[in-house]
Structure 1
């Protein structure tokens, strides 16, 4: 009886195990099927919405990415096609198209230097790309106007710098005015230089993340906007326009590295810049600025300063290390303050071991000239005309050689002629 009971127990255990085993297999198979289904669904969804793809096709058509024959003037148009239904631009690796990590959205159209010709479609097309972060068509041939960019609230970079042909002309360029940028609060880079844009520069106060703005070489009018809120700027270029008014305050832009506003009609004085310890290039030449030179005595990054062709007055102070100045301009390579009304004594150049270009001609500098430091003998310089008295300068020829790279040194003149700047042979180095 005991043996029978044991056998029944064994049979039951085996049966249960068989049942449980069969169920486990079925459950595992069901789970595998579900995983497969969800994976397939996920893969099917890992593609931008059709609205984004069709918007991209419309942009490609507007920029002549393809013609009816499938050819293109682009240097590279890989992936751009008129297939129906359209290919996945993320999986198909359309040239210049960037997608997010999950291939769910188009985030960039980056096609610089690609011989792209055409116009930008209107805002209704761009509105279908709400996740777009980057638009870069630099050095292509884009014409027409800039669309309303407020439909792209996440945009970080808008760059369409014009290109020119071998004759220096612009066969295609942006025209019209710059639209409002107020809604682009995430924008970091705006580069639309070398076009034919007109009108004024829009308000920038809401663009607190802006790091680069280049609107140079256009036909813009009006004033330079206030930059109080744009404290993240590092590169600013307003040069070669028709801008009027005064220069904006700059001291609050702590990380500013490059500021260009030359070639305009700006008036007033140059704002303080001495606190900008990262500033390396400062160009405000060819304006109508008045007042003194800005204090630059302790700017360790400064290497290129151009204040020429203005109406600046007062002395040239604190270039070298003579008291009360310091050696804070040790990286200075070029300085041009020519064509102003600067006076006072000739500045010392001691401590400026990297200086290569020095232009102070057409000013009112007086007094004796300082000897040329030996380490600067190959410097290209232009100091005349100025009403300087150059008498009693023994040995000056030892410091200022008669020629530099085959050009007459503007300091050099016949022996014994050092009594007037007018008697020194001068070479122009424009």
Structure 2
């Protein structure tokens, strides 16, 4: 009986020891740890990396997340540290299981977007924002077919939006606002999204983009569109529609020219509309009074005419939302004659 008990205890001890070894190994993959230490070295051991002690598991380090089963690094975040200087190191590509890569508010992060990022085939979320990165947006980002969200806002990127982005069938959110982009919008952007996908987000404000808004965008279910402060022309009504899921539309300060009278507004989702500083004609449709969640509405500096609809949420908008039009009238402007 005693022998049997000892045998059972020994087997339990072996099982616990094996489990501890497995847990320990899952706490940090040695190749990933080597890559992370190379990243730390490339950034001159900046304060952000102070917890990155080689004697501790890398999955416990600040800004690092791992798969609990495999110990492979799945997310890397580096942010808000002015001591992070230089380009994005190529050693980032030695983290093959990354799903999230986040470089944010790093003013001294400079250089182009490195080609090594194209090796991160599992990447779903890529954020490089509020940095000193410059150069063009590389077309190789179109090969990251798992990508769902791309944020390259508040940088010094130039050139055009790569047509290769149209190949990203899982991409639902693009934010490249506040850069120096030129050129036109790819006509097939978001066209591979299945009808059952989440609504899309397109933010390209404060650039120097131009050309007509593609008619194909009428087939995309956008939740948010911000194309403000560019030089777009053509028909911005493609983003509207009674059954569209759109919540926010900002097309202000462009050269858009279309008849607002023909626009149908979503009744439930729409909360903000800014079409100011364009060449839009026609009248404000009566259907706007049925948009119950409308919180912001700016039609100023256009070529609109006719009486402003009353009712619904329209009473909350003052004369500044309608000023400098051709012949708008009615509350809150002077009465129609």
TM-score by length of 1: 0.65
Determine if the alignment matches structure 1 residue 160 to structure 2 residue 100: no
Structure 2 match to 1:370? 308
5+ residue gaps, structure 1, are 1-20, 67-72, 108-131, 164-171, 320-324, 391-395, 401-410, 420-430
Provide the C-alpha distance between the structure 2 equivalents of 1:239 and 1:94, rounded to a whole number of angstroms: 31
CA distance in 2, matches of 1:64, 1:316: 56
Structure 1 position 257, deviation (Å): 2.9
> Shift in Å at residue 152 of structure 1?
2.5
Taking CA–CA contacts closer than 8 Å with sequence separation of 6 or more, which of the two structures ends up with the larger relative contact order?
Answer: 2
Q: Hey, what does 1:10 align to over in structure 2?
A: none
**When you count strand as a share of all residues, which structure comes out higher?**
2
Contact 2:97 / 2:122 at 8 angstroms: preserved in 1?
yes
Equivalent in the alignment of 1:354:
293
Task: Choose which of 111, 115, 125 in structure 2 pairs with 1:176.
Answer: 111
- CA deviations on 1:318-359 (whole Å, 9 max, x unpaired) are 44xxxxx4x634322221111111222343323222223222
CA contact (8 A) 2:63 2:77 kept: no
- Give the match for residue 192 of structure 1: 128
Residue 75 of structure 2 is aligned to residue 134 of structure 1: yes
Query: Partner of 1:350: helix, strand, or coil?
Result: helix
Q: In the comparison of the two structures, how many residue pairs are matched?
A: 320
Equivalent residues in 2 for 1:228-239, closer than 5 Å: 228-239=166-177
1:386 aligns to what?
Answer: 325
Q: What are the residue-to-residue correspondences of 1:243-392 with 2, within 5 Å?
A: 243-248=181-186, 249-252=188-191, 253-254=193-194, 255-271=198-214, 272-277=216-221, 279-295=222-238, 296-319=240-263, 325=264, 328-348=266-286, 349-366=288-305, 368-380=306-318, 382-388=321-327, 390=329
Change (3 A) 1:31 1:245: same
3-state DSSP of counterpart to 2:159: coil
Query: Root-mean-square deviation (CA), in Å?
Result: 3.2
More helix as a share of residues = 2
**Structure 2, unaligned stretches of length 5 or more?**
none
Alignment partners' CA distance in 2, 1:217 and 1:196: 9
Q: Secondary structure at the match of 1:150?
A: helix
| Alignment partners' CA distance in 2, 1:44 and 1:331 | 52
Is the 2:63–2:76 Cα contact (8 Å) retained in structure 1?
no
Which protein shows a greater Rg? 1
Give, in angstroms, the shift of residue 282 of structure 1: 0.3
Asked whether the 8 Å contact 2:63–2:78 carries over to 1, the reply is no
- SS class of match (2:276): coil
Cα deviation, residue 412, structure 1: 3.6
